[in-house]
Amino acid sequence: MSNPFLKQVFNKDKTFRPKRKFEPGTQRFELHKKAQASLNAGLDLRLAVQLPPGEDLNDWVAVHVVDFFNRVNLIYGTISDGCTEESCPVMSGGPKYEYRWQDEHRFRKPTALSAPRYMDLLMDWIEVQINNEDLFPTNVGTPFPKNFLQAVRKILSRLFRVFVHVYIHHFDRIAQMGSEAHVNTCYKHFYYFVREFGLIDTKELEPLKEMTARMCH
């Protein structure tokens, strides 16, 4: 039987953002292939996230940030029709956690928004950053800026909030589509990666702490 999750993902009516691609022949493309090969070979995710010998940490992190952005985008895209202004008037992870949006332009102060509005702003904000050659240089030999890992920490901690919202408010939809195994694998991959390189503060991970303890230990 065909997987309904994949049907949703490739449904032409669903508009997904264009994926950021790695140019064939570049170092980043080779690293991307190496990372994918580890996953496809069913390698333990804890091992799959480790920096391959002789590779540059920033390159390895850049490849994964783009990949996680693409994957989380797809996961949210599949449940987005059930995440509306009415159903999710606040961007939250259960009653204890509310996320407010802040950026350098329109929302200079943390602002309460609905989940779909927050997600839209978040995805646009990340897309601008990963397409910014000054922050994510694509040419081999072009150095990463000094603030690269700092910028990445912010991107990943905000992407984590998408997992929080999806797991806490929309997991029934994911289960209904039979795609929990896929989403859980994406989450575990993300979690092991950010822990391996210390890219998200422990307090940010609190909302999914119990679930993570069951799934990842």
Per-residue pLDDT tens for 172-198? 999 998 888 889 999 999 999 999 999
> For 80-85, what is the mean pLDDT?
94
Q: Which pTM does this prediction carry?
A: 0.84
Q: Which parts of 44-203 are beta strand (E)? A: 100-101, 111-112
pLDDT at 122 over 90: yes
The CA distance from 171 to 159, in Å, is: 17
Q: What is the pLDDT of residue 191?
A: 96
> For 25-29, what is the mean pLDDT?
59
Q: Which of 77-86, 112-121, 135-144, 149-158 has the lowest mean pLDDT?
A: 135-144
Q: What is the pLDDT of residue 117?
A: 96
CA dist list (Å): 12 to 76, 123, 180, 202, 213: 16, 20, 22, 38, 37
> For 66-77, what is the mean pLDDT?
92
Question: pLDDT tier at 16 (50, 70, 90 boundaries)?
Answer: very low
The answer to whether 165 is annotated as binding is yes
Q: Which residues, in sequence order, are bridge partners of residue 111?
A: 101
CA dist list (Å): 195 to 102, 188, 204, 216: 25, 10, 12, 11
> What are all long-range contacts of 78-83, with beta carbons under 8 Å and residues at least 24 apart?
78/5, 78/8, 78/9, 78/14, 78/173, 78/174, 78/177, 78/179, 79/166, 79/170, 79/173, 79/174, 80/116, 80/119, 82/170, 82/173, 83/115, 83/116, 83/119, 83/165, 83/169, 83/170
Question: pLDDT tier at 39 (50, 70, 90 boundaries)?
Answer: low
The answer to whether 64 is annotated as binding is no
Question: pLDDT tier at 42 (50, 70, 90 boundaries)?
Answer: low
Mean of the per-residue pLDDT values of the chain: 85
DSSP code, position 192: H
How many residues comprise the chain?
Answer: 217
Check: CB of residue 57 under 8 Å from CB of residue 151. no
Q: What is the residue whose two structure tokens read 């996680």?
A: 68
Q: What is the residue whose two structure tokens read 């910014």?
A: 132
Q: What is the pLDDT of residue 200?
A: 96
